[in-house]
């Protein structure tokens, strides 16, 4: 790993030390957290309270601890609605995995799912600056260049995604030739200790359509911002999330 990526990984672990906090949890709570993550991929949904009760004796207390550690997000009524990298709320980053369309908290989180579960995913998002379509297919850490027919079919059948028209089939043609130049931007200054990461830093972990747009975004506010190539962002995301399942 390059010094740039190691520094970024260290920085993110200072802000959101998920692995360290997971290890601080009692074993049943750690298992619950891992099962919550796996349920998104296996079932395309959060665990039910009944399923959680099979893992921990006190479900509300376990969820409260995970929420206190900023490992999950919950609704105003106390219902589980997310666990990094997943969320049930539309945040602009739709990910197809195991036949399910899910949402990721941010661009980095979207890139983490394929390597985290060693599976195939398809990410459907947009450049935060230009609104250009972002379509990325992955297997593990490897980007796949999908056949256009397959890609159009995937876009047209996003039946379970609320904003399923976010990316139109005709958008895929222009994206196929540019996917290798996609960048990810991180606005580190958005991190806020008084707010959960989902509502602060995650909002500034974004896709940028190409190097030119990325460099322009960086030049607008050089301090506290950083850009990564797609390959760098995938490696960064993979290293941050992979250990959560071990």
DSSP state letters, the chain: --HHHHHHHHHHHHH--HHHHHHHS-HHHHHHHHHHHHHHHHHSSPPPHHHHHTT-S-HHHHHHHHHHTTSSEE-TTS-EEEETTEESS--S-EEEETTEEEEESSHHHHHHHHHHHTSEEEEEEE-TTT--EEEEEEETTEEE---HHHHHHHHHT-TT-TTTTSS-TTHHHHHHTTGGG-EEEEEGGG--TTS-GGGTGGGGEEEESSHHHHHHHHHHT-TTEEEEEHHHHHHHHHHHHGGGG-
Tell me the mean pLDDT per 10 residues along the chain, length 246: 95 96 98 98 96 97 97 92 95 94 97 97 97 96 68 51 44 57 96 88 97 95 91 98 93
pLDDT at 123: 97
38 and 113 co-located in one domain: no
71 and 100 co-located in one domain: no
112 and 226 co-located in one domain: yes
pLDDT at 153: 54
- What is the domain count for the chain? 2
Position 209 in a domain: yes
Position 7 in a domain: no
Cβ atoms within 10 Å of 189's Cβ, excluding its own: 13
Position 89 in a domain: no
124 and 187 co-located in one domain: yes
Domain that residue 140 falls in: 94-243
- Which of 83, 115, 132 is at the close of a domain? 83
Position 10 in a domain: no
Position 144 in a domain: yes
Residues with Cβ within 8 Å of 229's Cβ and at least 6 positions away in sequence, in order, are 183
pLDDT at 95: 97
pLDDT at 176: 55
45 and 130 co-located in one domain: no
198 and 138 co-located in one domain: yes
- Which of 26, 55, 83 is at the close of a domain? 83
| pTM: predicted TM-score of the whole model, two decimal places | 0.87
100 and 215 co-located in one domain: yes
pLDDT at 173: 44
Position 132 in a domain: yes
CATH code: domain of residue 116: 3.30.450.410
75 and 115 co-located in one domain: no
138 and 188 co-located in one domain: yes
In this structure, are residues 35 and 47 in contact, taking their beta carbons and an 8 Å threshold? yes
237 and 159 co-located in one domain: yes
114 and 180 co-located in one domain: yes
- Which of 64, 83, 102 is at the close of a domain? 83
Position 6 in a domain: no
102 and 191 co-located in one domain: yes
């Amino acid at each position: 790993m390059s010094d740039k990526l190691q520094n970024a990984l260290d920085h993110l672990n200072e802000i959101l030390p998920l692995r360290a906090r997971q290890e601080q949890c009692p074993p049943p709570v750690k298992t619950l957290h891992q099962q919550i993550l796996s349920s998104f991929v296996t079932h395309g949904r959060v665990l039910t309270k009944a399923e959680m009760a099979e893992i921990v004796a006190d479900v509300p207390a376990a969820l409260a601890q995970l929420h206190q550690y900023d490992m999950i997000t919950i609704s105003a009524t106390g219902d589980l609605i997310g666990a990094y990298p997943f969320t049930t709320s539309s945040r602009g980053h739709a990910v197809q995995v195991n036949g399910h369309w899910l949402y990721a908290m941010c661009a980095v989180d979207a890139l983490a799912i394929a390597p985290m579960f060693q599976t195939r995913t398809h990410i459907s998002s947009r450049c935060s600056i230009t609104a250009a379509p972002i379509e990325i297919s992955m297997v593990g850490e490897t980007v796949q260049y999908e056949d256009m027919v397959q890609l159009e079919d995937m876009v047209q059948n996003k039946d379970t995604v609320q904003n399923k028209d976010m990316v139109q089939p005709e958008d895929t043609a222009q994206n196929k030739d540019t996917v290798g130049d996609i960048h990810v931007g991180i606005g580190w200054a958005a991190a806020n200790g008084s707010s959960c990461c989902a509502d602060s830093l995650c909002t500034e972990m974004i896709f940028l359509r190409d190097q030119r747009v990325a460099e322009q975004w960086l030049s607008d506010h050089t301090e506290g911002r950083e850009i990564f190539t797609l390959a760098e962002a995938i490696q960064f995301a993979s290293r941050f999330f992979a250990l959560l399942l071990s």
